[in-house]
Every structure is written in structure tokens, then in C-alpha cells.
Amino acid sequence: MSKPVVLIAEELSPATVEALGPDFEIRTCNGADRAELLPAIVDADAILIRSATKVDAEALAAATRLKVVARAGVGLDNVDVRAATQSGVMVVNAPTSNIVSAAELAVALMLAAARHVAPASAALKDGQWKRSKFTGIELYEKTVGIVGLGRIGVLVAQRLSAFGMKVIAYDPYVQAGRAAQMGVRLVSLEELLEQSDFMSVHLPKTPETLGLIGDDELARVKPSLVLVNAARGGIVDEHALYVALKEGRVAAAGLDVFASEPCTDSPLFEFENVVATPHLGASTDEAQEKAGIAVAKSVRLALSGELVPDAVNVQGGVIAEDVRPGIPLTEKLGRIFTALAGEIAQQLDVEVRGEITQYDVKVLELAALKGVFSDVVEESVSYVNAPVLAAERGVAVRLVTEGESPDHRNLITLRGTLADGSQVSVSGTLIGISQRERLVEVQGYDMDIEPTDHLAFFRYTDRPGMVGTVGGILGAAQVNIGGMQVARDTKGGEALVALSVDSAIPAPVLEEIAQAMDAGFVRAVDLTE
């Protein structure tokens, strides 16, 4: 019997091949060369890549036997996860392989910017001895603001605490008690901007965080601020940073990531007080080796039909066929839950009702947690680290099953209690032979709407004309409505409008709708990858 074929499309550490073992036929190709990749992937059972190989719909269509795509790293920008899922191909990565390397680089950039390491080195190599020109500043007893207290943010905070810095952080998804245990004081973003001598960004790139540090934010900071972004390009608005540096409103910056990469020609490069590196966060021997070994182990598990904890789209392993369709739905419910809550719940119940409860539905709890944390932490979230993230943030999680489901064949509900005692709930089901996903309850209001990529929810006092108002504003903004549901508790009481739209609703348009409706609750949800 022939061995499964594992295609290694980029240079990986020797430890990767060793971790695969003798059970596979190992082939290699240059994944960056499409003419070489497409014929090579045809009969591959698994492909191992880094960042240069693009596994898109075309490549997946050519791969007749492919079962798993393994990215030896964290980011998945070069993998079409949705197309892979539709093709039944598992996608795995190495979510924790680079966290130490990324944290260390952020600290390195901070030190380099504070002490003018790059321009001083360049001047000296050019034959210039300019000690007085490159007088720097110490980190000791300064205040550093960490924007995003996920795993990498925590590592940076720990390391900078050892420098004798005062550490503050902004992260609405971390509880103050948890931060205090680490010696970190949680503050609002406005406070962090005003108090920080140094600032380091460690957030995921989402529609909500894109441009988070822009003109208004940089107008609040001290002119002595040293700003570091080694997380994701675009979170810090590069034009706003350029203007702030040009006008002397920011002292220095350390950048490892850019809005568009590869980036070799940025206006920011004209400043001596900007130290820049070409996305080197994961570029250490140790991180590459950890990543290679991690995905090699995942490939072995996937091809042997076992549970794959680091799968980002399907879990693999022994999961009942009746349960599998509920996994992506539950993950979406988790993302919707977090968007509705605006924070992480202290208590989260994952309630599963109906026929599927005769099977093991533990995977649905994991899928819910994966969704809950996907848009709020910098690192990749998987089935293996989602429970850890919940524990780190003090979230009590409970799986509740009930065989009876009066209104639906199967029903999945996420119900959580927030810090102020209020509750958030969202429910979904699958309908028809094609198992179409439907949202059937939000915040206690019954509805029936497809959970498309872009959703919005408005709660207001029930009165005539509101549907027309919403439609008119969105029409003027060229945002097309795909579906709309209006639910209310009583006539003239509280009502909820749920919208599915074809494109994201810009923040100013959301605000315009909220004011026109006098809405007490406004939430937009982006379910794009």
C-alpha cells in the first residue's frame, strides 16, 4: 500500500521532516512558482507551507487528494480557509510557535528606538562618531501602555516590568482582576494614550481595530512617546503616524508590520527616529523549528483521522456526522456573542438541545469558545488554546445539553453573564436538507435570519417609520440590505432590528442610524475571515 504524500512547498527546518517520521512519502516543490505548485499538489495528501505559497481556490481545485494544509506559522493570509472548508480540507497552523519571538522583537524595537540604535550604527559605519547626537532615554520608571493584553501582550508586559517600567494596558476583553495579578493596571484607551511614555500594540487585525491608532488618538499622546507596532499592519494608521512624527508630536517609532506588505518604500522610512524591520516577528530559528514540529504533528494526526487541536476550520477526529454541521454555526454564534456583549462574559453557557445531544457535543463548546475569542486576541485561536484563553480571563464555561427542543430539531444557544450582571444570548439552528444556518434568537427576541458576513442589530422603542428610516440611510450610503427582521417584546415596547447586509456598514452610518432611531443598543458584526 502506497504511503500518503506530504508535499513540502517551502524550506522548513530539518526537525519538521524528522517530526513527520517514516510513514509518509516526502516530496518538495517551490510553492511560490505556480507552474511548479499546481502539478505537484495534484496527488498530495498534505501540503506544508510558510508564507510564500498561496493555497487558493485554484490550488485546492487542482488537489484531488488533499486532506490538510499546514502553515508553519501563525498567519493564514495566503490560505483560502473558506474554500478549503468547502472542499473538506483541514487547515492547521502553529498558533503559539512565535509568541516569544514576537514579544522579544517588540522589546527590541522599543529599545532600539529609545536609544537610536539604527541611525547611530549607520553613522558610525559611515565614519562618523556622533555621541551627543544620539542621546537616548531610559525605560526605567517610565510608563508603558500595552494595547492588547493577549498572550504576546502579556509576555511583553512581563519583560518590560523587569526593566522597572510601570505597565498599564487597554483591553476591554480582559478583567481587571486578571490584569492586576500580573501587575498590570487596566485603563481606557484614552487614559493609556495620555499617560504612556512608551506604547506597544498587540491586537488582532479586525474591522474594529483597523486604524485604531489614528489622527485623533495620536493627538492625545505625549510628544515624547515611543510607539511600537509589531502586531499587524494597519492598526496604527501610517499616514497619521507620519504626520505626528513630522510635526514632532511623536518622538520615535519601531515598526515590524505595515498595512501593505512587502513594504520597501514608505514615507516613514525617511525619519531617522523610525526603526523598521521587514515583519521579523516570527523570524527566529526557535520559532521556525517550533512551528515546523507543531504542524508536522498536526499532519500526522489529520492523516490518521485523529483529533487535531490546532485545526482552524474543522477539528478532525471522531466527531459524529450529525454534529459536524453545527461546528461552523457555533463558531459564528461565538463571534456574534462577543460583538453583542462588547466584552468577555464572566459566565458562559453553551446550551445544545435536540437530537444531536445523543452524541458527544463537547466539540461545540470548543467551537463556541473559538468564536468568542477569535476577534479579540492577537494570537490565532484553536480548539486547544480556546479553553486556556477562557481560563486566563476568568471565564466560567459550562456545556448544557437537553434532548427536548420544542421549536427546532436542534438548537444551539450561547448565554453569558457580563461583569455588570446583565445577560447576552444568541441562538442558531440548521434547517432543511442542505443544513442552512439561521439565527433564531438574539437577546431574547425571536427571529429568522441568515448569519451572513455582515450583520447589524439596533434596539429601540417600537414606533412607526423606523424600518423606512434604516432603509433610507443605508440606501443613501450604498449599503444593500440582504435580509431584515424586526422583533418586539410588546406593541409600543422595546424592539430589535436585525440586518444582514452585503457590505460592512461604516461607523458614521451606524451612528447616523442610531441617532435617527434613538437606539439604545447598536452593534455591527463582521464574520469575514
Q: Is residue 29 domain-resident?
A: yes
Q: Which pLDDT score is estimated for 436?
A: 92
Q: Which of 170, 166, 171 is nearest to 198 (CA)?
A: 166
What is the domain-level CATH number for residue 220?
3.40.50.720
255 with 151, same domain: the answer is: yes
Please indicate, yes or no, if residue 397 is contained in any of the structural domains: no
Q: Evaluate whether residue 165 is within a structural domain.
A: yes
pLDDT band at 386 (very low <50, low <70, confident <90, very high): confident
**Is there a contact between 277 and 65 (Cβ–Cβ < 8 Å)?**
no
Q: Is residue 457 part of a domain?
A: no
User: Looking at the predicted structure, is the pLDDT value of residue 143 above 90?
Assistant: yes
Residue with the larger pLDDT of the pair 317 and 288: 288
The pLDDT assigned to 317 comes to: 58
Q: What is the pLDDT of residue 316?
A: 59
Q: Is the pLDDT of residue 144 over 70?
A: yes
Residue 1 pLDDT > 80: no
The radius of gyration of the chain's CA atoms, rounded to the nearest angstrom, is 25
Q: Are residues 296 and 209 in the same domain?
A: no
Lowest mean pLDDT, pick from 11-25, 147-161, 308-322, 352-366: 308-322
Residue 163 lies in a domain: yes
- Label the pairing between strands 25-28 and 5-8: parallel
Distance between CA atoms of 474 and 510, rounded to whole angstroms? 9
Asked whether the predicted pLDDT for residue 49 surpasses 90, the reply is yes
User: Is 385's pLDDT higher than 90?
Assistant: no
Q: Write out the catalytic residue numbers.
A: 232, 261, 279
Place of cell 454541521: 325
Residues 271 and 301 in one domain: no
58-62, 171-175, 490-494: least confident range: 490-494
Q: Count the domains in the chain.
A: 2
Confidence of residue 96 (pLDDT cuts 50, 70, 90): confident
Q: What is the pLDDT of residue 76?
A: 84
pLDDT for 306 beyond 80: no
C-alpha cell at 466: 423606523
Select from 276, 300, 326 the last residue of a domain.
276
Give the cell for residue 82: 473558506
The pLDDT confidence band at residue 82, using thresholds 50, 70 and 90, is confident
pLDDT of residue 432: 86
Q: What is the pLDDT of residue 74?
A: 81
Exposure of 491 by Cβ count < 10 A (0-12 exposed, 13-18 middle, 19+ buried)?
A: exposed
- Residue 485 banded pLDDT, cuts 50, 70, 90: confident
Within this chain, do residues 301 and 238 fall inside the same structural domain, yes or no? no
Task: Please give the model's pTM, rounded to 2 decimal places.
Answer: 0.75
Whether residue 61 is found in the same domain as residue 194: no
**Is 194 within a domain?**
yes
Kindly state the percentage of the chain with pLDDT values over 70: 98
Residue with cell 532600539: 112
- Given 268, 301, 318, the domain boundary residue is 318
Q: What is the pLDDT of residues 395-425, one digit of tens each?
A: 999 999 999 888 899 999 999 999 899 999 9
Does pLDDT of 347 surpass 80?
Answer: yes
Of 91-105, 153-167, 434-448, which has the strongest mean pLDDT? 153-167
Q: Mean pLDDT in the chain?
A: 91
pLDDT in tens, 151-179: 899 999 999 999 999 999 999 888 888 88
The residue from 263, 294, 318 where one domain ends is 318
* Residue 258 and residue 291 share a domain: no
Give per-residue pLDDT as tens, 112-136.
999 999 999 999 999 999 999 999 9
Q: Which of 427, 431, 521, 444 is nearest to 487 (CA)?
A: 444
Average pLDDT over residues 430-439: 90
Is 106 or 82 the better-scoring residue by pLDDT? 106
pLDDT range class, residue 296, cuts 50, 70, 90? very high
SS (H, E, C) 49-106: ECCCCCECHHHHHHCCCCCEEEECCCCCCCECHHHHHHCCCEEECCCCCCHHHHHHHH
Residues 224, 299: one domain?
no
**If we measure between CA atoms, which residue out of 41, 99, 102 comes closest to residue 70?**
41
For residue 151, the model assigns a pLDDT of 87
Q: Tell me whether residue 40 is in a domain.
A: yes
pLDDT band at 433 (very low <50, low <70, confident <90, very high): confident
> Cα–Cα distance between 123 and 134 in angstroms, integer?
10
DSSP 390-432: HHHTT-EEEEEEES--SSSSEEEEEEEE-TTS-EEEEEEEEET
Please indicate, yes or no, whether residues 103 and 61 belong to a single structural domain of this protein: no
Co-location of 63 and 189 in the same domain: no
| 112 and 233 inside one domain | yes
Q: Quick one: 169 and 207 in the same domain? A: yes
Residue 381, pLDDT above cutoff 80: no
First to last CA, the chain: 39
**Higher-confidence residue: 317 or 476?**
476
Q: Is the pLDDT of residue 185 over 90?
A: yes
Q: Say which residues have a Cβ less than 8 Å from residue 421's Cβ, sequence separation at least 6.
A: none
Q: What is the pLDDT of residue 281?
A: 93
Query: Would you place residue 309 in the very low, low, confident or very high pLDDT band (cuts 50, 70, 90)?
Result: confident
Q: Which residues contact 198 (CB under 8 A, 6 or more apart)?
A: 110, 114, 139, 142, 143, 144, 145, 160, 165, 225, 226, 227, 228
> What is the average per-residue pLDDT within 364-388?
84
Give the pLDDT score at 204: 86
**Structural domain for 64, as ranges:** 1-95+283-318
Instruction: Report the pLDDT value the prediction gives residue 315, as an integer from 0 to 100.
Output: 59
Confidence of residue 99 (pLDDT cuts 50, 70, 90): very high
Q: Beginning with the edge strand found earlier in the chain, give each strand of the sheet holding 494-501 in spatial order.
A: 481-488, 494-501, 454-461, 521-526
Please report whether residue 509 resides in a domain. Answer: no
Say yes or no: 130 and 238 in one domain. Answer: yes
The string of pLDDT tens digits covering residues 211-269 is 999 999 999 999 999 999 999 999 999 999 999 999 999 999 999 999 998 899 999 99
